[in-house]
Amino acid sequence: MRNWSENKIELVLIRHGATKANQEHRYLGKTDESLSPEGIEELKKARQKGFYPAVDSLFVSPMKRCMETAEILYPDKAVIPIQEFEEMDFGIFEGKNYLDLQNDKRYQAWIDSNGTLPFPEGESREDFIRRCEQGFRKMIDSIRDNHAQGTIKAGAIVHGGTIMSVLSSFYGGDYFDYQIQNGKGYICKLKGNTYEISHIGILSGVSS
């Protein structure tokens, strides 16, 4: 790895566009669902308005909704899949929403735990966060190994849970502090050879 002590990475984390399950407030994890027509249209309008900054490298979760978002927002940019960025496995809650689950004792127990219990037959938050941390380190290592020194601009189109995991781990704060709507995201800055994020801001449509 090159000496990056005086170099910077600017990273934009973008949550994929909306799917039908997102619009119906259903748990969408391992189901490989495509974007909805409304989600596609919202992304196209935001791109036309210059909402998404240019990037040198583009990383994605390999799930359809992220790959399709990347094709809309950065059609000329090759993508680099990061397997560890896939969304959480919601187990028996997958595809269901609050109304479907309101009488399920397992769901009530999960709510009462503030989401700290593992999803029944699914993934625990701790395991998911650990997986996303591995993916983040892999992504940052790839950026540093494949770019000359200087300020590098990179993008990652991932899931809401992935963003919450990465920011709570490498910037600080609570997991739920970083909930973000579909198609929205954060601008992050990293410096030197660490993986720690030194600054974040809400993606606000500054084109570059």
Instruction: Please count the other Cβ atoms lying within 10 Å of the Cβ belonging to residue 75.
Output: 8
Q: How much is the pTM?
A: 0.94
Question: Which residues, 6 or more positions from 201, have their beta carbon under 8 angstroms from its beta carbon?
Answer: 186, 187
| 160-175 pLDDT per residue, tens | 999 999 999 999 999 9
* Average of per-residue pLDDT across 40-48: 97
Residue with tokens 């699914």: 122
Residue 208: the pLDDT is 37
**Residue predicted with more confidence, 115 or 41:** 41
Q: Which residues pair with 174 in a beta bridge?
A: none
Asked whether the beta carbons of 111 and 98 are under 8 A apart, the reply is no
Structure tokens at 60: 């994605």
Instruction: Tell me the C-alpha distance between 132 and 179, whole Å.
Output: 16
Residue 1: the pLDDT is 47
| 12-32 pLDDT per residue, tens | 999 999 999 999 999 999 999
Instruction: Please count the other Cβ atoms lying within 10 Å of the Cβ belonging to residue 196.
Output: 11
| 96-125 pLDDT per residue, tens | 999 999 999 999 999 999 989 999 999 999
Instruction: Tell me the C-alpha distance between 80 and 57, whole Å.
Output: 8
